[in-house]
A = this chain, B = another copy of it.
Amino acid sequence: MDTVPSELWHTLDGKDSAVPPAWADHPRATQKSPVLAAAAIKLLRTPTALAQLSPEESACIVSFMRLTGFAPGATILREGDQQETGYMLLVLTGEVSVQTTDGGTHEPVVISVLGPGNVIGAMGLLDGAPRSATCVASSRIEAAVLSRGALDQLIAQHPHVGAKLMVALCQRVSDQLRATGQQIGMYVQLMQTMQAEIDALKQQLRDDRRD
């Protein structure tokens, strides 16, 4: 597999300021790297990405994507970032560590590790809201980027494909919402158990002190 041109690699780490990448300056996936483009077309159709697309629809979407790369340790997306968040990435090579400091912990907690075929940042693409998690390149990453501007062009020029992409993306976000719903259910149960333990310990303390 050929690689992304060296001048387009991102080496931003957490200490750098969050300079948004200028996606328009990146090569279109289909123009500069046919091998990576072919990988993107295939990967966009894996169950981890958006399996409901036909090969032709997938190729149409990839023609609107741009290539980028990240050095190991580089921050791909930063939790809470509010600038230029309107894009998603399809991971082509390497592994991405998804981390959060949500919940008030000081050390970031690794939520998941994502590999080729995974899509990251889909929610930002849709509404440009602050990033909900930090994504760090665990290894050398090559990725295809779809920006909001490119999505709007795709919908304008190929509305059927745009609509199908949106159905697929929406199903992905729904799956994540179902998973977090189950997680919340689990936590509520766990908290009930902990509360029962607290009540029992308090009772023991009272009993002990009465004796």
- In the complex, A177 Cα to B180 Cα: how many Å? 8
Q: A166 near B170 (CB under 8 angstroms)?
A: yes
Determine, out of A13-21, A134-142, A191-199, the stretch whose residues face the partner at the interface. Answer: A191-199
Within 8 A of B (CB), among A150-199: 155-156, 159-160, 162-164, 166-167, 169-171, 173-178, 180-192, 194-195, 197-198
Q: Is A12 an interface residue (CB 8 A)?
A: no
Interface on chain A toward B: helix, strand, loop, or mixed SS? helix
Determine, out of A42-50, A65-73, A112-120, A123-131, the stretch whose residues face the partner at the interface. Answer: A123-131
Instruction: Assign chain A's interface to a size class.
Output: 35 or more
Q: A103 near B188 (CB under 8 angstroms)?
A: yes
Contact of A159 among B102, B163, B169, B194 (CB under 8 A): B163
Q: Is A204 an interface residue (CB 8 A)?
A: yes
- In the complex, A132 Cα to B183 Cα: how many Å? 13
12 additional contacts (CB under 8 A) given A103-B186, A180-B180, A208-B208:
A100-B185, A102-B181, A103-B187, A127-B171, A129-B174, A155-B163, A159-B163, A173-B177, A184-B184, A194-B198, A197-B198, A208-B209
